Amino acid sequence: MASCSSSARVSFTDNKTIAHRGAWKMDTLPQNSIASLRKAIELKAAGAEFDVRMTKDDVLVINHDPLYAEDTIERKTYQELSKHKLKNGEKLPTLEDYLKAGSKRNSSTRLIVEVKPSIVDKTQGIRAAEKALALVEKLGVENRVVYISFDYAILKRIHALDPKAITQYLTGDKTPAELKADGISGADYHISVYRKNPEWIGQLKKDGMILNAWTVNAAEDMDWLLDQGFDFITTDQPELLLERVKIREKTPAGK
């Protein structure tokens, strides 16, 4: 992909498959666990997605919901939150744990960092993004990560701090021209957005932007996106998507 300049030192796989919250479904692992991340890497998925939130004492943790074990993440310290283990016995992973685990024995899988908007105060989401970026830089994993967010201001801040960072917007309310004008690398929209605005697909491609879609679990939807030439498809069913991609590789183009 034209805009993936920072991936030069790591050769990622090109199978379009982004494991949503890791690859958890098949082995009933906790979503957003180190185990689900490692499973996505084992599958050699093109990417493993995970959700980042910030605790009251500024620790970046991996959890989808604003609540963890019935506590609001942003209102508790990491020590308070981490008293509760994940279902597989893991401690609540921090972003640092995740980036480290995702950089070991991994030459295939991009780390897709979703920075969640704050539920307390919009500026906290921006601060979380700044801290994530600083941590990525400290660990020297810039070439492994992609940033996604529903909060456009978060992505714009990431782009301002690191113009080479790969960014994809999730909400679906910006046209390809708007994304391009703001220096965002691509769209990662719900599949229904592309069904409703099919002309956006061609526009994004023409501008060399990244096309990603979420969260696509049905084979027929996967096939439609593959037909449209999407770069990435985000799914809870990475094994199924890998299979669809493989079938397609064996079939002559256009069939």
- Binding site residues, Mg ion, CB under 5 A: 51, 114
Query: How far is the C-alpha of 234 from the C-alpha of 149, rounded, in Å?
Result: 14
Taking a C-beta distance cutoff of 8 angstroms, is the pair 120, 130 a contact? no
Least distance from C-beta 251 to Mg ion, angstroms? 31
Least distance from C-beta 246 to Mg ion, angstroms? 25
Least distance from C-beta 20 to Mg ion, angstroms? 7
- Name the residue among 199, 96, 192, 86 with its Cα closest to residue 138: 96
Question: CA torsion 213→191→254→45, rounded to 10°?
Answer: 30
Least distance from C-beta 37 to Mg ion, angstroms? 13
Q: Which residues contact 121 (CB under 8 A, 6 or more apart)?
A: none
Nearer to Mg ion, 171 or 203 (CB): 171
Nearer to Mg ion, 51 or 236 (CB): 51
Least distance from C-beta 19 to Mg ion, angstroms? 11
Where are the extended beta strands (E) located within 109-221?
110-115, 145-149, 166-169, 186-190, 210-214
Q: Bridge partners of 53?
A: 61
Nearer to Mg ion, 51 or 231 (CB): 51
- Helix or strand holding residue 194 (H, E): helix 191-196
Copy the structure tokens of residue 21: 């919250």
Nearer to Mg ion, 35 or 112 (CB): 112
Copy the structure tokens of residue 192: 């229904």
Nearer to Mg ion, 86 or 180 (CB): 86
Task: Give residue number: closest CB to Mg ion.
Answer: 114
Nearer to Mg ion, 51 or 74 (CB): 51
Least distance from C-beta 255 to Mg ion, angstroms? 34
